[in-house]
C-alpha cells in the first residue's frame, strides 16, 4: 500500500509545466481559465452535475459543476474536478477550475503536505514572475471547533490578479468531509465574488 501511495504521489507531482506569465498557460486536466467547458463536457453533463455549494451567497453570479472519477469521468491526475462559470453564460466560460486528490490523506496528512511542497516547488519555478505567499496553516471556518486545518500557498498573477491555490485540507474526524490535496485556478473576478457578498 505504501508503495502504491508513493507511486501515486510521484505521478501526480511530475507534470509538464513551463514558465507561465498568464494563468491560461496552466491547466488542470487540460482545462484552464477562459476555456469553454463545452469543449470538455456536454451541456447535459454540465447541468446534471451543478451543485448547490454557493447557495449561501446572496449574489448568484457563479455556479459550480463537478465531475468525479467514481462516476466514470476519465481524469489522469485528479479524482475530482470542479469548475465555476457564470450562471447565465451560454458558452460556459471557465472562471475557476479545481483538481482534488484524496489518496487516504485522512490517515496520513503528512503525505499530503509532502506532495503539496513538491507541487509548490514546481509552481515556484513555473511562476517565477508572479507573487507567491508561502504555505501556511489556518483554521477552516466551516469547523466551529477549530480542529480542521487548511495548509495553503497562493500564487497571484501580477497583471491579471488571477490566483493559483495549492492546499491540503486536514478535516477533523467529526466533520463530514475527507482530507484532500487540491490545486485551484481562479480568475480575479471569481475570487473577488467568493470573498464578497457572503
Mean pLDDT for 154-171 is 96
**pLDDT tens across 65-93, in order?**
999 998 989 999 999 999 999 999 999 99
Interval 93-115 mean pLDDT: 96
pLDDT number for residue 68: 95
| CA 181 – CA 170 distance, rounded (Å) | 9
pTM of full prediction above 0.95: no
Residue linked to cell 475527507 = 178
Q: Which of 6-10, 64-68, 97-101 has the lowest mean pLDDT?
A: 6-10
CB-CB contact of 107 with 5 (8 Å): no
pLDDT at residue 11 above 50?
no
On average, the pLDDT of the chain sits at 90
- Please report the pLDDT score of residue 18 as a whole number: 56
CA–CA dist 96, 37 (Å, integer): 11
Give pLDDT, residue 10. 40
pLDDT of residue 6: 36
Residue of 113, 146, 130, 141 lying closest to 21 (CA atoms): 130
Alpha carbon distances (Å) from 147 to 28, 45, 101, 137, 174: 30, 36, 21, 12, 9
Q: In the structure, what pLDDT confidence band is assigned to residue 2 with cuts at 50, 70 and 90?
A: very low
Amino acid at each position: 500500500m505504501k508503495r502504491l501511495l508513493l507511486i501515486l504521489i510521484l505521478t501526480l507531482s511530475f507534470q509538464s509545466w513551463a514558465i507561465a506569465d498568464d494563468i491560461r498557460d496552466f491547466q488542470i486536466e487540460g482545462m484552464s481559465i477562459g476555456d469553454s467547458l463545452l469543449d470538455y463536457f456536454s451541456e447535459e453533463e454540465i447541468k446534471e452535475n451543478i451543485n448547490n455549494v454557493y447557495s449561501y451567497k446572496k449574489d448568484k453570479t457563479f455556479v459550480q459543476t463537478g465531475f468525479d472519477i467514481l462516476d466514470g469521468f476519465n481524469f489522469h491526475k485528479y479524482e475530482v474536478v470542479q469548475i465555476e462559470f457564470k450562471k447565465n453564460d451560454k458558452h460556459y466560460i471557465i472562471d475557476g477550475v479545481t483538481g482534488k486528490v484524496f489518496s487516504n490523506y485522512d490517515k496520513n496528512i503528512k503525505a499530503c503536505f509532502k506532495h503539496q511542497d513538491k507541487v509548490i516547488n514546481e509552481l515556484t519555478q513555473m511562476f517565477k514572475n508572479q507573487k507567491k505567499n508561502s504555505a501556511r496553516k489556518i483554521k477552516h471556518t466551516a469547523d466551529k471547533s477549530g480542529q480542521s486545518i487548511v495548509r495553503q500557498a497562493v500564487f497571484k498573477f501580477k497583471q491579471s490578479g488571477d490566483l493559483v491555490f495549492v492546499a491540503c485540507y486536514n478535516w477533523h474526524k467529526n466533520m463530514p468531509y475527507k482530507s484532500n490535496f487540491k490545486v485551484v485556478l481562479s480568475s480575479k473576478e471569481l475570487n473577488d465574488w467568493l470573498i464578497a457578498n457572503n
